[in-house]
Chain A
Amino acid sequence: MSFYEECAAYSALPLAERFASVTVGDVRRSLAKTSLDADDLLVLLSPAAAPFLEEMAARANRLTVQHFGRTIQLFTPLYLSNHCANHCVYCGFNATNVIKRSQLTLEQVEAEAVAIAATGLRQLLILTGESRAKASLEYLESCLAVLRRHFPSVSMEIYAMEEHEYARMVAAGIDGLTMFQETYDEVLYERLHPHGPKRDYRFRLDAPERGCRAGMRVVNIGALLGLGDWRKDALLTGMHAAYLQRHYPEVDIAASLPRMRPHAGAFQPTSVVDDADLVQIMLAFRLFLPRLGITISTRENARLRENLLPLGVTRMSAGVSTAVGGHSEEGETVGQFEISDGRSVEAICAMLRAYGYQPVFKDWQPLGDEGGTWSKKRRTA
């Protein structure tokens, strides 16, 4: 039994009809409950809940401040490599797109790490395309040996791995896994991934669970909103997060809400997720899972990110470049997607403080070798 069976059972239901048949009374009943179940999540994601956003927002804000305080975790992505064997029709790194391909040398990794650490950030997310030949486990382990000297927390957003491979990554110093299912619609998934290892829907769907088993501390999931019917994808993302929380209570589960962005290649989103839809998804998630981490990336513009702050966000990226080598060198390669909030770490921190939020740079202390290679400083008496 994995989430696959639960997901398949839900997908077999006439979800479009269920969303359409929700009444205002159903919404009121769900909002009156103290603890929400999957049916309530469906209700809050339905068109009938749209007029209740303000009421949902007040509750979401209260829950978020209660559980996470007035704090926002900051991280930045580091693109190690954009070689890719996949043919995801919506992605700028698609193997058939003619872009310059590169992979950082360990010297370049060090230079990027120094540049990022100088901004004060201590939480890093490393990314690669899917190329086991280029971005091999051995390559990743070598990069981690460098990165762990600069960052107490390193997460990975890399091709789906086997459990024993995730365990190797954990041993090398990875503490978080980000793995987007892109869409939970299995038929659409196969159409969007015509070739390449990522085509295996189930292997990807079960990857977050393998990560939990392998000892990841944080597992962040998400659907690329706009690829399929966003209500269904949001519902199944929420169900997936709840499944992981229930089965792996020791792991912090988080979800991202990425929307399709313009990128190299011709694919355009099939369904449009407007700002109100995005807000509805975030609020429904917060009310359904009060302790869920919620990540908003620089795919969203500065103004929207600021307005989303009080609605449930717990993590944000800052000082972002989606190009390989983008932190220490000038625009060597094309990014994976276009970012909408290119502000520096300093500017993001100033914004957060102006809104009454504390930017959190560090939230984990590596334990290997009693702290590992990261900082040996002592508090002065």
Chain B
Amino acid sequence: MKEDVFEIGGVALESRLFTGTGKYADDAVIPAVCEASGSEVVTVALRRVDLDAVSGNVMDYIPRHMRLLPNTSGARNAEEAVRIARLARAMGCGDWIKIEVISDSRYLLPDGYETCKATEVLAAEGFVVLPYVNADLYVARSLVSAGAAAVMPLGAPIGTNRGLKTREMVRILIEEIDVPVIVDAGIGRPSEACEAMEMGADACLVNTAIATAGDPVAMARAFGRAVRAGREAYLAGPGASRALAAASSPLTGFLGEG
């Protein structure tokens, strides 16, 4: 089997599971979650970062070897996302940025148009841009043209743990989009992450399902394994599933008869 390289913005990654830092009962569990999951990329909402914190700065809990993926949570339009990204860079959080532009507090669905605008500006400023979007082919193509390093379609509305509801649309992105496709949001169970990987997704980002699990560390480990298993299955090339049993007497069998 040829080497399975996964690269984002010129950086090779071993793990195809990205994790998050929101919703934990106690941020002190984050290092153990990162380790158990094997994840190398962790997203953090810049709005939550307080470098002057009296106690409990979330950044203190992110292992140093992890690649930071600050996100623009709270941005309601492209301009706010751009400002948050620049602040993240100014605060020493690096050049990677996950763009979230959400102006719907009921469903938290991302605004594709504003996300494209922000991507264009930030990619031109040298950011490695990973935009969170609906699983929409046209939006994804626009993002690639705008310079996105990956696209992150949602599996289901953020925080819902409802699984891969956008399966068919994600499949189209995987087939059509040349940059990595990272399924973000909605994945509630390791089996769903595994399914996304089997389909050929390049990676998954999982936060709520780990952070709100009864045992976040054990759940992180389970997700790490599921993502790996799904990737291996994809590479192995699963046999085609059949809707009907194969006929034991092939209808075209006569062609071989002499």
Contact = CB atoms under 8 A, between A and B. Distances in A.
Contact of B47 (A249, A253, A363): A363
Interface stretch (B78-86, B118-126, B146-154): B78-86
A52 to B, nearest CB: 24
Contacts of A358: 24-27, 56
Contacts of A375: 50-52
Contact of B106 (A71, A245, A359, A363): A245
Contact of B105 (A70, A120, A252): A252
Interface in B1-51: 22-27, 46-51
Contacts of B92: 378-381
A65 interface: yes
Contacts of A119: 54
B182 to A, nearest CB: 22
B172 interface: no
Contacts of A70: 23-25, 211-212
Interface residues of B, number: 40
Contacts of B87: 365, 367, 370-371
A263 B66 CA distance: 53
A102 to B, nearest CB: 29
Contacts of B51: 375, 377-379
A194 interface: no
Contacts of A252: 105
A272 B51 CA distance: 45
A251 B208 contact: no
Contacts of A353: 26
A362 B84 contact: no
A68 interface: yes
A315 B76 CA distance: 22
A67 B159 contact: yes
A66 B26 contact: no
Contacts of B211: 69-70
A67 B105 CA distance: 11
Nearest to A242: B106
A360 interface: yes
Interface in B107-164: 108, 159-161
Size category, A interface:
35 or more
Contacts of A361: 50, 53-54, 56
Contact of B59 (A68, A364, A379): A379
Interface in A282-333: 291
Interface string B70-102: 000010100010011011001111000000000
Nearest to B207: A69
A129 to B, nearest CB: 31
Contact of A249 (B26, B59, B106): B106
A261 B23 CA distance: 33
B252 interface: no
B104 interface: yes
B103 interface: yes
B140 to A, nearest CB: 24
A91 B144 CA distance: 58
A381 B27 CA distance: 20
A380 to B, nearest CB: 7
Contacts of B46: 365
B104 A367 contact: no
B105 A362 contact: no
Contacts of A380: 92
Most buried by A among B48, B52, B86: B52
Interface in A244-265: 245-246, 249-253
Contact of B104 (A249, A363, A371, A379): A249
B83 A251 contact: no
Contact of B52 (A249, A251, A370, A377): A377
Contact of A69 (B84, B93, B208): B208
Given A245-B105, A378-B51, 11 more contacts: A66-B208, A69-B24, A120-B55, A120-B56, A246-B106, A250-B76, A252-B105, A365-B49, A367-B87, A375-B52, A378-B90
6 contacts: A69-B22, A362-B47, A362-B48, A362-B53, A365-B84, A380-B92
